[in-house]
C-alpha cells in the first residue's frame, strides 16, 4: 500500500521517515518529493509498505506530532491524469 505523509518538517531526511515507519513493519520504498526548481524537500512524501503494516502506521501516526508538526498520514490517492489543456485560462480577442 502506498501511504501519503504530509506536513513534514522540511529538514526531515529519508532515514528519519524510514525509522518512523519501520516500527510498524518493513518499508518497501520512500519517495521524498522535492521542488523541481530548488531541489528542496516540499514537506511531503510517499511510503510504500505491506497493507497490514500500512494500516497500522496510518492509525497510529495520523494527526500526531512529529518534529514539531502535526503530520497527516493516510492512504495515497491515485493521481488524476493531466489534461493537455493549458493551465491559464485562454483570453479571446474580440473581432470588430
Domain that holds residue 35: 2-75
**Is 46 inside a domain boundary?**
yes
pLDDT at 85: 57
For residue 69, what is the domain's CATH number? 3.30.70.330
Q: Is 32 exposed, middle or buried (0-12, 13-18, 19+ CB in 10 A)?
A: middle
pLDDT tens by residue, the chain, 96 residues: 999 999 999 999 999 999 999 999 999 999 999 999 999 999 999 999 999 999 999 999 999 999 999 999 999 998 776 666 566 655 556 665
What is the rounded (10 degree) CA torsion for 68, 4, 81, 87? 0
**Is 94 inside a domain boundary?**
no
**Is 44 inside a domain boundary?**
yes
**Is 87 inside a domain boundary?**
no
| Structural domain count of the chain | 1
**Is 95 inside a domain boundary?**
no
**Is 62 inside a domain boundary?**
yes
Q: How many CA atoms lie within 13 A of 2 on its CB side?
A: 8
**Is 92 inside a domain boundary?**
no
**Is 38 inside a domain boundary?**
yes
Amino acid at each position: 500500500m502506498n501511504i501519503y505523509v504530509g506536513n513534514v518538517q522540511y529538514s526531515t531526511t529519508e532515514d528519519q521517515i524510514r525509522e518512523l515507519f519501520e516500527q510498524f513493519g518493513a518499508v518497501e520504498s520512500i519517495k521524498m518529493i522535492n521542488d523541481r526548481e530548488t531541489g528542496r524537500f516540499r514537506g511531503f512524501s510517499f511510503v510504500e509498505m505491506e497493507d497490514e503494516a500500512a494500516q497500522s502506521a496510518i492509525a497510529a501516526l495520523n494527526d500526531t506530532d512529529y518534529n514539531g508538526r502535526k503530520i497527516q498520514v493516510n492512504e495515497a490517492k491515485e493521481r488524476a491524469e493531466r489534461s493537455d489543456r493549458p493551465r491559464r485560462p485562454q483570453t479571446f480577442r474580440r473581432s470588430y
